[in-house]
Structure 1
Amino acid sequence: MSTNNDGKVIVIMGVSGAGKSTIGKMLGTALSCDFLDADDFHSSSNRGKMLGTALSCDFLDADDFHSSSNRDKMRQGIALSDEDRMPWLEKIQESLRERLLNGQTVVLACSSLRKQYREILRGSDPDYKPGSYSSCKVKFVLLEGNAEVIAARLQKRASEGEHFMPLTLLRSQFDLLEADDSEKIFKVSVVLSPEVIVNSVLELLSNDLNFKEDI
């Protein structure tokens, strides 16, 4: 069944420490839409928040969707298995689909490291067919940075007690990261200022025909 609403999902993706939450919240504000943190469906981080703010929309942080057992594993430096991740991703997909069916635009901060995980999130679009990336209502923005830059950020966060992801898991995240050009994932460097990153994402989205009319 085809849907004709104008809802969209912008996923700010990348390894822990890239700044997904800050950017997502700023973008959500700019688009006047919700921001979700995937860790809450599993806690919260910062660049996604700025993007949500810039777009005046809701911001979701995937960390907020994690179960307590998943959080405990990560605190102990134990990498999550796909068995751990699937219920988490399915919970996020359900939340996104509900918003899309209601015509809402939302910014989500979620690592989304593997294509397999991104396909689950794309499945929140009722009209999505595998491989139809251009027309999909779920778009991905990768915050790119090298391991040294990200490690320094995580060390700073750990010293300030801001995040539950230990530095020891960073290498496993880089090992998992897949970013196939065929998926048309937008890429922005984490070394830019948050404001420049948000403006770059807004420009990328405005040049995308699937988003152009909404920005």
Structure 2
Amino acid sequence: MIIIVMGVSGSGKTTIGKLLADSLSWEFSDADTFHSSENTDKMRRGIPLSEADRIPWLQDLQTAINHWLQESKNVVLACSALKDSYRQFLVLDSERIKLVYLKGSYELIQKRLQERSNHYMGEKLLNSQFYTLEEPLDTISIDVAQPPQIIVQNIRTALEI
């Protein structure tokens, strides 16, 4: 099974994804590592990615997901997956791929990004993240205002794992 932990930058995808993977003894992967250096540089400078910038990234993610499925690996993937079209592109097998949406208020996420110093996605791109976000309607939605351990337990309960 693959669990895609999605949401805007600062919602806790990596933190929650790692904790969830550890609690399940699964692999963890971060979609940020699939970005080209050009994409990372753009985001570091506060420039939102274009659709053309995202296509190779999404293709690389889809290849990785297909590989994990073929090998029957259990993986937690932290991935923004902000648009429905991105999620449809990545979720090819709804039986073996589950989406978990980390949802938080603009104010909470903004505060988290202001406190973050070691990541290329800063507060400058928050408006574009929320503008781009198409909230999923048919997935597990988790409130990120809760402590990380509670969030992980809520995810496990919702997925019955």
Is the contact between residue 79 and residue 169 of structure 1 (CA under 8 Å) also seen in structure 2? yes
Calculate percent identity across the aligned residue pairs: 47
Matched residue type, 1:12: V
TM-score (norm 1): 0.73
Is the contact between residue 101 and residue 136 of structure 2 (CA under 8 Å) also seen in structure 1? no
TM-score (norm 2): 0.96
Q: 1:175 aligns with which of 131, 134, 152?
A: 131
- C-alpha distance in 2, partners of 1:118/1:139? 10
Q: Which residue of 1 aligns with 2:114?
A: 155
The ranges of structure 1 where at least 4 consecutive aligned residues each deviate by more than 4 angstroms after the TM superposition are: none
Verify: 1:165 aligned to 2:121, yes or no. Answer: yes
- C-alpha distance in 2, partners of 1:180/1:167? 23
Deviations 1:53-111 (A, max 9, x none): 11110011000111000001001110001110110011011011111111111100000
Name the one with the larger helix percent.
2
Other structure's SS at 2:59 match: helix
Q: What is the correspondence of 1:1-215 to structure 2 with a 5 Å cutoff?
A: 8-24=1-17, 49-123=18-92, 125=93, 135-158=94-117, 162-181=118-137, 184-206=138-160, 215=161
Higher Cα radius of gyration: 1
Q: Which has the higher contact order (CA 8 A, sep 6+)?
A: 2
Q: CA RMSD in A?
A: 1.0
Which structure 1 residue ranges, 5 or more long, are not aligned?
1-7, 25-48, 126-134, 207-214
Deviation at 1:185, TM superposition (A): 1.1
Deviation at 1:179, TM superposition (A): 2.0
- C-alpha distance in 1, partners of 2:95/2:49? 28
Deviations 1:158-180 (A, max 9, x none): 3xxx1101211101110111124
